[in-house]
Structure 1
């Protein structure tokens, strides 16, 4: 069993896809497209993650899609951490079609100030997600990592999932600073990290697995494989690589496909029910 813990589906009209550099991925990506890439890569189940539309209506759509798509075992949906009625919003999502597949909530923290996660209303939102039994999924920039460590310390009963290892500046070779900032995050036992999105932080045209190696090695050293999970970040990865290239790069760097990184951590973190 192999689980891809991070992929998207989207339509070509996503606002952030207007960037000229993203022309290659400015199209609709459907379940059929997903099946076409995970099959040859030997991936059995996936986790569908919101992709930046920032609309709870889309979360409802994703839950319906997941209900009808056996390969999708869970959904990390969007909701605003500043929503004072977030608990009710989560209840509403769960009550709808496919609601039992809701595994986590992700706001677009990467677009916010570096201290966003320190703010009282935001902490209340994080606490509401935790109280609902869902994962707090965080997509952040490297300078925001200190606030992730503080939030994890303040909310020890919440499970946090850090996407893309905090988006290290691989292309710029910013290894030392990233390691300094991610180490306190890894020191919090309630934080799980994804080995995902790394090729798009490297040089899109010239990356090699060796460029990713020190970041993966540090992640394994700091988190241990029991708190890491593989995520493709498809279809974003297509600006730099194919799905299979990313999976093979990761298995090569890890010396195979460790059962926890490639399935177990995702299953336990998201409470996936696989048949």
Structure 2
């Protein structure tokens, strides 16, 4: 099992290290003020945690990633396919992916088992933040987002760098037959003894990135699992719905 070496507030994806003008990070559950079951860096607004706790946790997170004064845009996610192009801060509703090319504006998604995907178009200096649960993955939200970036910015695969963030791992993501049948055979495994099905969401979304043409060496994948590393990350499944949320954010510095 992969373990965090430091109880940090966030992880900075190494795939984006060559771009000093880019801010990209995913939070952990460490370093916040929220009590159990949201302990401690709960960044999710739609939880039973107090708003003051979430506000302070977000202040700490954005300060830690060097963006305390940056604007921030996100959405109330609905496991749908809608993608928002935004140039202003705000909390929108009904979108599961956001794209922007505005410096000084961070965009982000909240997760607690679903897959966060961050994308940077280095030529056109545009970014995307995507929330992909199993429905979004089946619906190819990553591919749809890249297609919209191509239309909006002229994005091409060779200039894209992407990060697949911390989410539920294949060995923990047990699904019923009605879900398993919607995935290609290479993305699912059936336990020979129990007959239970398991889905690899990281691989499924990586396939969409490479399917668009992004080179494998320009894709980073988190080695962590929300379930196996539950002491470091929130997991909706492992904690039976009583837990906090992480943020995965990306944007261009001012």
Please report the TM-score for the alignment, with normalisation by the length of structure 2. Answer: 0.40
Please report the TM-score for the alignment, with normalisation by the length of structure 1. Answer: 0.38
Greater helix fraction, Structure 1 or Structure 2: 1
Greater strand fraction, Structure 1 or Structure 2: 2
